[in-house]
């Protein structure tokens, strides 16, 4: 009764068995589920479903048929969830297992290759199966189709992500090249500008003096922007190189505050360094941490008004050192506090004296601090001031 070289390739299994479930003849097995060692229905079914398989045989024995029993078949190492239906025939049981509605149509075509008795029995079994669980199988097929579409979308998304990563890498490379090529000409222009200011300090008209001052401010801003672009491009490309060395954070902080005090006095702002406690030596990159300190303190100066005070505090906690920079300036809204550490994410606020911002400084500062294993956070009230605090592991 077994067909050799069947042309049908479908997810189905059709076989004859006796009343005890012993397999007598395999009629169709497109998945190669039936092996010589699997001589019974119980052996065919996954161990977790064998109690259900025994109940399946019992149902056939008591009512002459069983329809739409969902059971797992191990297969060739890949479990398949199939729906089983069976009915009694003259020489035993006719058992059918399918995976979807389309399989029923192919089983119907396959039935035409059988003798009249088996053909009639199999067609009746197909119809009963379709009636009993056709709607459920339509939902199953629809779910499988959606799952396949989701897998296709995931593959497309993964491909697009790879393409996006390549574009971002190229963008960072180009940005870095452009910024690097601009750095030297800007430095030269700034140097000549300073020379002109010194040479014309006593002879130039007030208008020329003001023009030179505007030029120098613009050049300093452009050079700072180029430096930020270079730093950010390197960090985004994964090249945050930390040259760690044993550093006294208190001494580093005092040096930065001394420098920033000179700049703040030009704006009529006072920077106070609160008493510094005994501090452990840290294994950090001093240049990178100096960059963070300069960014936080210069921002405080930028967004403070003349006559206001900026406080800088260093504290030593359990296993960490914290530095806080507090001002009483413009402050930041709660909504914008969520964006300021993103590249160009915060609002392009102008300083109280018209100072500009690149929108990269805080993003770079956070990445530097996190690269050291620390954290950078902000507390602020719009119109009342801000406090930026970063920690470094001790």
- What DSSP assignment string belongs to 217-272? HHHHHHHHHHHHHHHHHHHHTT------EEE-HHHHHHHHHHHHHHHHHTTT-EEE
Q: Give the position of tokens 């990178």.
A: 288
Per-residue model confidence as pLDDT tens digits over 7-58: 334 577 899 999 999 999 999 888 788 877 778 999 999 999 999 999 999 9
- Is the pLDDT confidence value at 192 over 50? yes
pLDDT at site 301: 95
pLDDT at site 182: 72
d(CA 218, CA 3): 87
Confidence of residue 135 (pLDDT cuts 50, 70, 90): low
pLDDT at site 177: 65
CA end-to-end span of the chain: 81
d(CA 280, CA 248): 7
**DSSP per position, 29-41:** ETT----TT--BH
pLDDT at site 374: 96
Name the phi and psi angles at 298, rounded to 5.
-65, -35
pLDDT at site 3: 34
d(CA 127, CA 87): 12
Write down the pTM of the prediction.
0.52
Confidence of residue 359 (pLDDT cuts 50, 70, 90): confident
- Is the pLDDT confidence value at 6 over 50? no
Averaged pLDDT, 154-165 = 88
d(CA 368, CA 242): 9
Structure tokens at 393: 């592991």
Cβ atoms 303, 327 nearer than 8 A: yes
Q: Give the position of tokens 């430096």.
A: 227
106 versus 371: the higher-pLDDT residue is 371
Averaged pLDDT, 304-326 = 96
Torsion (CA) 199, 201, 203, 204 in degrees, nearest 10: 100
Averaged pLDDT, 346-365 = 79
């Amino acid at each position: 009764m077994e067909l050799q070289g069947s042309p049908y390739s479908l997810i189905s299994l059709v076989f004859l068995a006796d009343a005890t479930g012993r397999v007598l003849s395999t009629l169709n097995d497109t998945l190669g589920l039936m092996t010589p060692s699997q001589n019974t229905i119980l052996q065919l079914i996954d161990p977790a479903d064998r109690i259900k398989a025994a109940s399946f045989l019992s149902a056939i024995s008591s009512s002459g048929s069983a329809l739409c029993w969902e059971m797992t078949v191990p297969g060739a190492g890949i479990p398949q969830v199939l729906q089983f239906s069976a009915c009694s025939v003259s020489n035993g049981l006719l058992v059918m297992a399918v995976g979807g509605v389309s399989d029923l149509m192919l089983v119907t075509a396959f039935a035409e290759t059988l003798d009249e008795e088996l053909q009639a029995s199999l067609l009746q079994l197909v119809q009963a199966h379709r009636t009993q669980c056709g709607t459920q199988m339509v939902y199953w097929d629809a779910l499988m189709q959606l799952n396949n579409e989701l897998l296709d979308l995931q593959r497309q998304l993964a491909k697009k992500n790879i393409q996006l990563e390549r574009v971002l890498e190229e963008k960072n490379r180009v940005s870095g090249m452009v910024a690097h090529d601009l750095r030297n000409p800007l430095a030269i222009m700034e140097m000549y500008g300073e020379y002109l200011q010194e040479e014309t300090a006593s002879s130039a008209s007030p208008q020329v003096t003001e023009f030179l001052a505007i030029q120098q401010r613009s050049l300093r801003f452009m050079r700072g922007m180029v430096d930020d672009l270079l730093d950010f491009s390197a960090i985004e490309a994964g090249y945050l190189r930390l040259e760690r060395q044993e550093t006294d954070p208190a001494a580093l902080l005092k040096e930065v505050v001394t420098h920033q005090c000179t700049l703040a006095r030009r704006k009529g702002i006072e920077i106070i360094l609160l008493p510094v406690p005994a501090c452990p030596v840290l294994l950090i990159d001093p240049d990178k941490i100096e960059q963070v300190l300069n960014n936080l303190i210069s921002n405080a100066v930028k967004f403070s008004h003349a006559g206001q005070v900026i406080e800088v505090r260093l504290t030593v906690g359990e296993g960490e050192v914290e530095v806080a920079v507090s001002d009483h300036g413009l402050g930041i809204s709660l909504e914008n506090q969520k964006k300021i550490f993103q590249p160009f994410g915060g609002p392009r606020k102008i300083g109280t004296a018209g100072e500009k911002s690149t929108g990269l400084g805080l993003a770079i500062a956070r990445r530097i601090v996190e690269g050291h294993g620390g954290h950078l956070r902000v507390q602020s009230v719009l119109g009342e001031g801000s406090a930026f605090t970063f920690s470094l592991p001790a």
